[in-house]
Every structure is written in structure tokens, then in C-alpha cells.
Amino acid sequence: MQLLRRNRILRQSPAIRSLVSETILTPSDFIVPLFIVEGEKIREEIPSMSNYFRMSLDVTVKEVKELWAMGLKCVLLFIKCKDELKDNKGTEALNPNGLMQRSIKAIKNACPEMVVMTDVALDPFSSFGHDGIVENGEIVNDPTVDVLAQMSVSHAQAGADFVAPSDMMDGRIVAIRTALEETGFTRTGIMSYSAKYASCFYGPFRDALDSAPGFGDKKTYQMDYANRTEALKETLMDVDEGADIVMVKPAMAYLDIIREVKDAVDVPVSAYHVSGEYAMIKAAAKMGWLNEDKAIIESLTSIKRAGADLIATYYAKDAVKLLG
Ligand code: PBG
């Protein structure tokens, strides 16, 4: 055969392959989600997320220092609220001495350069396990947005670098930006969960925080996974309303959406490689059916290739170790 183009020339050795590799993962691509619980010296494994832990604040602070030393630069905080503090309005979310606020302060104190992002949503604090206030069986938008704006200011007061609203209420980005401006928090950013789908892949996360919805599902606020143009509508609106970073969630079943969003916006795009995606790889690896290390790097590379500038993943530490 005489060919004019031989594509295998560029694949013939590891050195050549690395010269022409289009997508390279680095530690600063990752956002590390952390689950914080009350108490001391607690490091409890989440049953549906093997080798991932809920940690008390003292243990979390040590963990954050270790993450920073490894080159990881961003954490995303979730807290597990005690049952007795939950109510319909998420009152505890606004407590200036609440676990979230104490965690932000302690982490920024111990590791000031670490970028601290905070989850803004009512579900961990809601007696109904919903991301909004419930009235007559409905998740009401506008009263919820008021609480989310107050919650964001409270996180900013405690020292959060970015607030990350994960609720999917309408108009929350402009409400949060306005509230931050009015209170002088002009340097606090917003990472918006812009295209967040109603997904079964959040199951293990709801175990981690004991935050599963008590009735119904989240389909009246999270998006229908059949939809594509709606993701662009949601994301472009969030950018207009003041989102500094937008997010697509989950990641691997939504790579097409990540790419379209990346091509449509002029802000950084993040993707959340969610708990169920983590659990699937873990389970297959445990059975001996997949090589976990290879599955981690291939998954995360595909998410970055799709267009994610940042990836929130429970595999961040493993990935950094594997990238060596
Ligand atoms: C809720 C929230 C969820 C996740 C992040 N914030 C779950 C949900 O929407 O029910 C899921 C993250 C994951 O599965 O890893 N505000």
C-alpha cells in the first residue's frame, strides 16, 4: 500500500503520543467535595461511596492541608445537618455559628490560599429533604431564593471565596449577586449549578448527607435529562445574572451538554463527576471488572476533553496521585 496519510505515525510511542496529546489533566483542574459532620476525630466511610468519608471539622482541616500540599487548590463544602436542626425554611443554614460557617472559617484560617466554595441549597437543612421551602406540597421559588441569598451572604461573611448554588430555583443568581453587592462582598464569586439535571446518579450523595427528598422527586426544579437546548437557556441566563463559573451536572452522561455549554459561554465551565459516577467505578473495580486507576483517568480526561475547565470529583486525590 502507498498511503498519503498514515495516522498511526502519531501513535507509535509513548513519547510521540504525549507530544500530540490534546488533553492533559492537572491538579488545578479539580474541585474536591468534602462532607463535614459535627463532632471530633470522626472519619466515617460513606457506605455507598467506598473510600470516601464524612469528617468532623478537626479531621477536615488536616485533610485540607494535605490536599493543598498535593497541589489541589479548591474544596467544595457540604455539611451534614443534625436532624433536630432541620426545618422547612432551612433556618440552621443562616446560623452564623452553624457547622458550615464554622467550617469555612476554620479552613480559611488553616489554609488561607485554598479556594473555598460552599454549597448553597436547602436540602441538607430541610425537614423535607428538598432544595426549597415547601408550601402545600409545592417547592416555592421566590421565598426559597430569599433564603439562598441570605445563606450566600452568611457564607461570604464567614470567608467563602465562592458560593455554589445547587438548587435550580429561578432567579437565584441575580438575587445572590445583588445581596453580595449590597453587603459589600464584591470579591465573593458565584459558581452556579446552571444545567443540573434530575438524575439518579445523586443517590449515594443523598446517603452521605441523609438528604433524600421525603416526598416526590426533584423534577419540578432540576432539569429533564431529555433536554439539550434548555441547558443552554439556563446557562446563558445564569451568565447574564452574574455567574462567574457555570456548571453542568452530572458529567459523564452529559458530555454533549458540557461541550455545547463550553462553546456558548465566555466564563469557565465546570462539571460535577457525581457520587453515582464514582460509585459505579468503585463497584466495578471491587468486582474485578474494571481497572480502577485507568477508569479514573479515562473518565476525568473525557470530561475535560468535552470542555470542562474544572471538574468536581471524589476521585481528585486519586487522580493527582496517578498523574504523579
Ligand atoms: C443538592 C445537591 C445534590 C448534589 C449536590 N448538591 C443532590 C441532589 O440534588 O439531590 C449531588 C452531588 C453528587 O451526587 O455527588 N443540593
DSSP for 205-248?
HHHHHT---SSS-STTTSBPTT-SHHHHHHHHHHHHHT-SEEEE
Rounded distance from Cα 15 to ligand 1 centre (Å): 40
Residue 8 maps to a domain:
no
Residue 221 maps to a domain:
no
Residue 4 maps to a domain:
no
Name the residue with the closest Cα to ligand 1, atom 11.
Answer: 202
Q: Is the pTM of this model over 0.85?
A: yes
Find, among 88, 94, 115, the residue nearest to 104 by Cα. Answer: 115
Average pLDDT over residues 112-130: 97
Residues with CB under 6 A from ligand 1: 119, 121, 123, 131, 166-167, 202, 205-206, 218, 274-275
> What CATH number does the domain containing 94 carry?
3.20.20.70
Dump pLDDT digits (tens) for 155-164: 999 999 999 9
Residue 278 maps to a domain:
yes
Q: How far is residue 248's CA from residue 119's CA, in Å, rounded to a whole number?
A: 15
For the question of residue 249 being annotated catalytic, the response is yes
Ligand 1 mutation pick, 76, 130, 274, max ligand atoms within 8 A of CB: 274
Residue 318 maps to a domain:
yes
Residue 69: CB atoms within 10 A of its CB come to 9
**Cell numbers of 58, please?**
478537626
DSSP 8-state code for residue 72: -
Residue 83 maps to a domain:
yes
Contacts of 51 (CB under 8 A, 6+ apart): 45, 282
Name the residue with the closest Cα to ligand 1, atom 8.
Answer: 202
Residue 37 maps to a domain:
yes
Dump pLDDT digits (tens) for 266-324: 999 999 999 999 999 999 999 999 999 999 999 999 999 999 999 999 999 999 999 98
Domain residues for 294? Answer: 23-211+227-323
Residue 193 maps to a domain:
yes
Contacts of 243 (CB under 8 A, 6+ apart): 173, 190, 191, 192, 194, 267
Count of the separate structural domains present in the chain: 1
